[in-house]
Chains A and B, each alone.
Chain A
Amino acid sequence: MQIDIHNLSFAYGHRSVINNLSLSLNPGDYMVVKGKNGTGKTTLIKCLLGINPVKAGMIFYNHQDITNFNKWPQFGYVSQKFEDFNYEYPITVNELLAVYSLKPTNQNHRLKMLDQLGILEIVNENINNLSGGQLQRVFIARAMLNNPEILILDEPTASIDKLNTEYFYRTVNELHAQGITIILITHNDSLEHLNYSHVLSMYQDMTYSFQSREKCDPAEVELL
C-alpha cells in the first residue's frame, strides 16, 4: 500500500506532539519507527489508523485521503496494550479469532495462524487464563488473520520473552517478503534481524529523519 504523509501535525489540546512530519512509503516497504518516550510514535500510529483525527496536514493511502478512506480491513494492527479491550470477560482464543475474522467459518486458517506463532495448544483456552506473552501472540494472530496489506505494530514484543521476540520478527520478515507493507514501532529491540527498508527517527524537539536503510547509520539508530 502506498502511504503519503504531508506536513502532519498533531496536538493533544495545546500540547503539540507531532510537527510538520512528511514521508512516503511504497507498497511492500518496511519502516521502523524509533524514538524515545514522548516523541510521538504512538500518536503517529493513531493518526495513521484514523483514531486521532487529522486536522493539520494530510495522510493518503493509495492516493486516497484518510478522511474518505474506508478500506480498513486491509489493515492489521497490534498495540503494546489494547486500551479498549475487555480482558476479563470469558472468551476462548478460538472464539475471539472467529469474531475478528472476515471468514469466521474458516477454522483451519485460524489454527494454522496459531501454529505459526507457536500457540496452537491454547486455542480453546479462556483469554483470562493466558500470560501476557501468550495474549500478545493471540493479538498478533488476530492482526494477521485477514491477510492485511499493511501491518502496523506498536511495540508488539513488549510482553514477549527474547526467544519469542526473535520468532515473531522472523514471522514479520516472512510477511514482508510476501509484499505486505510493515510499520513497526520499537523501543528496545535490536534491529539486527529485521529486514526493514526505511527508518523514521523521531526526536524530542519534534524533528524527524526519514531515511532508507542504505543511508542510515545502524549504530546511531540503535541508540535511539
Chain B
Amino acid sequence: MMLSFFSDLFAYEFMLRALAAGIVLGVLAPLIGSIVVVRRLSFIADTLGHFSLVGISASLFLSTLGISLLFEEPLFLGLIFSVVGGLLIELFRRSYKNYKEISMVIVISLGTALSAIFFSKARATGSIYTYLFGSILTVNNYYMYAILITALLVGLLFIFFGRQIIAVSFDETSAKFLGINVNIFQIIFMVMLSIVVSVMLESAGVLLISSMMIIPVAAGMKVGWSFRSTLAIAIFFSEMSVFFGLWMAYSLKIPSGAAIVSVNIVILLVVTLIKRIVQKSQIAKMNKEKS
C-alpha cells in the first residue's frame, strides 16, 4: 500500500501539490502554535476557524445571488473574516481581562450562527464537508500560492521579531521593559494567526485546525528541554503526521485533516507513554541507588 502511495505521489501533480502544501503547513502550524500555547490561547485557532467559515459561507451565498466577488475562491473572504474574528477576540479580551476565554465563546458563537444562516441560504453547499474536515488532496494553485506567501510572511515576522514575540507571549509585563508596545504586538500577532488559520482551512478543516497547530506542540513539550528543542521536535512530529496522514487519507479515502490529526494524537499518546515509562524507570533506579 505504501509503495503504490509513493509511485502515485510522483505520478500525479495533485499529489505532489498536496505533499508540498503539507510540508509547508507542517512547519507553519507548530511554529505559530507554539506561541499560541505559550500565551495559553489554544482554543483560539478553533474560534478563528469558525469565524472564517462565515466568509466561506457568505461567499457561497453571494454566488447563489449571482454576485461575483473580486476573487472567486471562498478562501479570500474566509481570510478577511478570520482577521475580523481575530480583532474581535482582541477587543473582547480587553473588556474581560481576567476571563480571556469569554471572548472566544462570543466570537465562536457569532461565527457558527452566521455561517449556518449563510449556508442555509446558499445553493452550492457541496464543499461544506471539505471546509469542516479538510481535504489537502484537492488544493489548487491559488491555495498553494496563498500558503507560500503566508509562510514567507510568518517566516519574516519570526526572523525580525521572533524575540519580541516570545517575550510578549511569556510575560507581557516584562516585555514592556524592552520598549515593546505590547498592544500593537498582540494585534499584529492576532492578524498573522488569523491569516494562517484561513489558509489552513482547506487542508485541515475548521474543526481540526487547532489540533494541527496545538497537538504537535503538546507532544513536543513532553520531550523538549528548551524552547528551541521543543519547537524542533514539534515540527518533526508535525511533518510525520502530515506524511502519514496524507498516506492514510489517500489510501483509505478519508478526509486529510482527520487523518493528519489522528496521526498527531497517536504520536502524542506514544510520546506520553514512553515518557512515563522512562520517568518510572529513572525513579526506580534512583530509589535502588539510595537503598
Contact = CB atoms under 8 A, between A and B. Distances in A.
B40 interface: yes
Contacts of A143: 177
A84 interface: yes
Contacts of B224: 90
Contacts of A146: 177-178
Contacts of B230: 89-90
A77 B163 contact: no
B38 A100 contact: no
Please tell me the size bucket of the interface on B. Answer: 20 to 34
Contact of B227 (A49, A50, A77, A90): A90
A99 B173 contact: no
A161 to B, nearest CB: 24
Contacts of A79: 173
Contact of B177 (A72, A83, A92, A124): A72
Interface stretch (B21-29, B148-156, B164-172, B249-257): B164-172
Contacts of B37: 89
A95 B227 contact: yes
A99 B171 CA distance: 11
B285 interface: no
A92 B226 contact: yes
A146 B178 CA distance: 9
Interface in B162-197: 163, 166-167, 169-179
A95 B228 contact: yes
A126 B225 contact: yes
A84 B173 contact: yes
A91 B231 CA distance: 10
Contact of B229 (A77, A90, A104): A90
B194 to A, nearest CB: 22
B221 interface: yes
Nearest to B164: A99
A86 B38 CA distance: 6
Given A85-B170, A96-B170, A99-B170, A90 B163 contact: no
B214 to A, nearest CB: 13
A50 B173 CA distance: 10
Nearest to B227: A91
A75 B174 CA distance: 10
A102 interface: yes
Nearest to A146: B177
Given A70-B179, A76-B177, A126-B226, A98 B163 contact: yes
Contacts of B221: 89-90
Given A84-B171, A98-B163, A91 B177 contact: no
Interface string A10-23: 00000000000000
A168 to B, nearest CB: 19
Given A72-B177, A99-B166, A86 B40 contact: yes
A104 B163 contact: yes
Contacts of B172: 84
Given A70-B179, A82-B173, A100-B174, 9 more contacts: A49-B176, A51-B173, A77-B173, A83-B173, A86-B169, A90-B229, A95-B227, A104-B163, A126-B226
9 contacts: A51-B173, A71-B179, A84-B171, A84-B173, A85-B174, A90-B230, A92-B226, A96-B170, A142-B174
The 4 closest A-B pairs by CB, nearest first: A91-B227, A92-B226, A85-B171, A90-B224
